Amino acid sequence: MDKKEAREILAEHLGRYRAKTYSDLLPLVEAKQVDAFEVRGPSGTEYQLEFQFFWDSKAGGDIRVVGAIDDGGWRAYCPLSESFILSPS
């Protein structure tokens, strides 16, 4: 897996969630939603992305969004991941 390409793709897609408001992310946390999909990178490699949304420490508090990416190979067991936390304030 091209780590540079994978990190760029993950950052791009995670940025879409980062641009959302707390109110936008709240239903995703409450539904325990997992967004999973595949994208093709510039190199032609097919990547799987997964995003999870949950309370960081307690319900009604900060929301943590975690994104992971792999290429379906051995990286599926140890995907690259990044996260961010969004406060209600």
How far is Cα of residue 81 from the mean position of the Cα atoms in its chain? 7
pLDDT of res. 89: 85
- Residue 75 banded pLDDT, cuts 50, 70, 90: confident
pTM for the structure as a whole: 0.92
Cα Rg of the chain (Å, integer): 14
- Whole-number Å distance between alpha carbons of 57 and 85: 11
84 and 18 Cβ atoms separated by less than 8 Å? yes
- Whole-number Å distance between alpha carbons of 11 and 34: 17
- Residue 62 banded pLDDT, cuts 50, 70, 90: very high
DSSP per residue over 45-76, as a string? -EEEEEEEEEESSSTTS-EEEEEEEE-SSGGG
